[in-house]
Amino acid sequence: MSQQIRFTPSPAAELDSLLGKLNPDRVFVLTDTTTHALCLPLLKECAALHDAPCITIEAGDVHKHLGSLTSVWSALCDGRATRHSLLVNLGGGMVTDLGGFAAATFKRGIRFINVPTTLLGMVDAAVGGKTGINFNGLKNEIGAFREADAVVVSTAFLRTLDSGNLRSGYAEMLKHSLLENREVWSAHLKFNLGNPDLATLQELVRLSIEVKTRIVTEDPCEKGIRKALNLGHTAGHALESLALEKEKPVLHGFAVAWGIVCELFMSCAEAGFPEEVMRQTVGFIRETYGVPDITCKDYDRLYALMLHDKKNVGNDIRFTLLSDIGTLRLDSLVPQSLVFESFDFLREG
């Protein structure tokens, strides 16, 4: 894995140093309307950005679409970006996903740096080389594998984050803890999200990124072990897509947390995952994320959405399950009846 991950309390100085070494002919900054107002001021001391054009798109995953992507391409073109230019993606997962894809495809690829401003962006979207946009109502349907030249991680940005987005990012950290060991998992269940200590959170973020980086380094293009990172996502992406269809969008991490509930339930039934660990994890998720607004009438549609998952082979839905914390069952096939039972469990416990 070639990308640099820089942990720093001073993102402006770190970015200045990186841009000095990379020496692009032009620098562009991509923000959304929220990060333009709340996060761009934290980079005002970065001299390399003083004359950089700022491209701003609408905030929210509903805007991670072809129209926003086209506007970024157009701005790069109008700003005379060349193959030696560089795009700084300042934002959450929506900005780093879309900005990374814009950079990967403009003039067959220009360099980019991710500066994640949300917890979700730090531990998930900004690291690992996945870029893309939503298409035809499906999450991340169009995209490419392309690593950022660097990722600047600073919990200074988390002071701008609301409670919902903090919890959203924490779902991916909880997922990583389930892939690691009981000690790490237990530490995540004990962390106080209602009154977060940023110093403790920074260490948990570093650990979470290390888990993901180790997996991605071993399997950059998701041929094997990287599928572990899909825990909670097969069901979660379907729940997220359904919410978009209903025009009641939910934060990505909330959908992933609910997906973890479903897939741990399946893991107990199919892989012998310890029920007590499942119950403790589900209890934390219910308390932190509530339950989704679904009924049994939604089950067929959710199942159909799962059939679009990129991990599938033919018409078989492939789940990442666990037989214990840190013990994987990749590409698991689960009967449709058990999938529906997991939706019952998600709704009713």
Segment 26-64, tens digit of pLDDT:
999 999 999 999 999 999 999 999 999 999 999 998 999
Angle between helical axes of 198-218 and 182-190 (0-180°, round to 10): 140
DSSP 8-class letter at 224: S
User: Please, how many CA atoms are within 13 Å of residue 342, restricted to the half-sphere of its CB?
Assistant: 30
Rounded CA gap, 6 and 14, in Å? 8
The tokens for 219 are: 């399997």
Q: State the pLDDT confidence band at 1, using cuts at 50, 70 and 90.
A: very low
Mean pLDDT of 118-143: 89
* Lowest-confidence region among 6-10, 167-171, 337-341: 6-10
In the chain, the largest separation of any two C-alpha atoms, in whole Å, equals 58
pLDDT at res. 197: 87
CA distances in angstroms from 38 to 59, 118, 262, 304, listed in the order given: 12, 11, 35, 39
Residue among 83, 78, 91, 89 at smallest CA distance from 121 = 91
Q: Which residue has the tokens 């416990």?
A: 349
Whole-prediction pTM: 0.83
Do 294 and 302 touch, CB atoms closer than 8 A?
yes
Q: How many helices (H) and strands (E) does the chain have?
A: 13, 10
* Sheet hosting strand 27-32, strand order edge to edge: 4-7, 150-153, 111-116, 86-91, 27-32, 54-57
Q: State the pLDDT confidence band at 310, using cuts at 50, 70 and 90.
A: low
Q: What share of the chain in percent tops pLDDT 70?
A: 98
Q: State the pLDDT confidence band at 161, using cuts at 50, 70 and 90.
A: confident
Q: Which domains does the chain have, with CATH numbers?
A: 4-160 (3.40.50.1970), 163-348 (1.20.1090.10)
Do 61 and 252 touch, CB atoms closer than 8 A?
yes
Q: Tell me the pLDDT tens digit for each residue of 245-286.
A: 999 999 999 999 999 999 999 999 999 999 999 999 999 999
* Average pLDDT score over the chain: 94
Rounded CA gap, 212 and 206, in Å? 10
Amino acid at 247: E
Rounded CA gap, 336 and 87, in Å? 44
